[in-house]
Amino acid sequence: MIILKSRDEIEKMRAAGKVVAAALAEIMENVVPGVTTRDIDQMAEEVILAHGAVPSFKGYRGYPATACIAINDEVVHGIPGARVLEEGDIAGIDIGAILAGYQGDSAVTIPVGKVSPEAERLIKVTREALFAGIRAAKIGNRLSDIGHAVQQHAEKFGYSVVRDLVGHGIGRDMHEDPQVPNYGRPGRGPKLQEGMTLAIEPMVNMGGPEVVSLSDGWTIVTADRSLSAHFEHTVAITKSGPDILTLRKGETYP
């Protein structure tokens, strides 16, 4: 069952989204070669708590940290720890926060120092694929139009989208209906309606779409160990179009 949100609830989600956006902005300024993934996790937690919010991932099904940090061939759900980021790495940082009962969820992939042109392009195209999906999140379309737009964009560049993990509805709960795949044929699934709030989160691989999970029970990596990038925004569907609730200050988009 898809839970539609009132305008007031969307404003509450925007408040939570702003906290997530502030945490990601702080991290984006401070990720340099030499920082550990634990340092990044601490930055995230400090910003979230300073805003009177709570990290939503911590404790979720036993997840032990505030951020998920996925480096290079890691796709999502990497657990922060002692690993030191090195020049040329790409780091996907996913953060969720709860403020006054409502959730925000967003992710970016950040180049660490100078990265290869190939990695840079993967990051750029994955972010563009997210915004292609967001543009399709409008009244009059159906759910699968979002994934179709994401897939079209990513595949145009020879990349593949991960199918085993999907985006999701979001609201009072981090994961609500519907699931939001990043692939598919257009014109399928529920009609998009005013008040739907979705976390759209393409994961794009340089090689094949297959993923495997590591023995820590969380980290997902590409099966062929190719590079992977991940971007996510929480978006409300409104009469005036998609409203990005986790947009960062000064963030511009295609």
Amino acid at 17: G
Q: Is 57 in the site for ligand MF3 (CB under 6 A)?
A: yes
Q: How far is 177 from 134, CA to CA, in rounded Å?
A: 17
What is the three-class DSSP state of 253?
coil
Query: Where does this chain touch ligand MF3 (CB under 6 A) — which range of 12-20, 58-66, 140-148, 181-189?
Result: 58-66
Q: Is 94 in the site for ligand MF3 (CB under 6 A)?
A: yes
| Sign of the torsion angle spanned by Cα atoms 69, 112, 90, 14 | positive
Q: Is 199 in the site for ligand MF3 (CB under 6 A)?
A: yes
Shortest spacing between CB 143 and Co ion, in angstroms: 16
The rounded Cα 161 to chain-centroid distance in angstroms is 14
Q: Is 213 in the site for ligand MF3 (CB under 6 A)?
A: no
C-alpha torsion 107→253→134→145, nearest 10: -120
Shortest spacing between CB 173 and ligand MF3, in angstroms: 11
Q: Is 81 in the site for ligand MF3 (CB under 6 A)?
A: no
C-alpha torsion 181→185→157→95, nearest 10: -10
Q: How far is 120 from 142, CA to CA, in rounded Å?
A: 32
Query: Where does this chain touch Co ion (CB under 5 A) — which range of 73-81, 139-147, 198-206, 243-251?
Result: 198-206
Query: Where does this chain touch ligand MF3 (CB under 6 A) — which range of 34-42, 59-67, 109-117, 140-148?
Result: 59-67
Q: Is 105 in the site for Co ion (CB under 5 A)?
A: yes
Residue with tokens 């997530």: 20
Shortest spacing between CB 30 and Co ion, in angstroms: 23
Residue ranges binding ligand MF3 (CB under 6 A) = 57, 60-61, 63, 68, 77, 94, 96, 105, 168, 199, 232
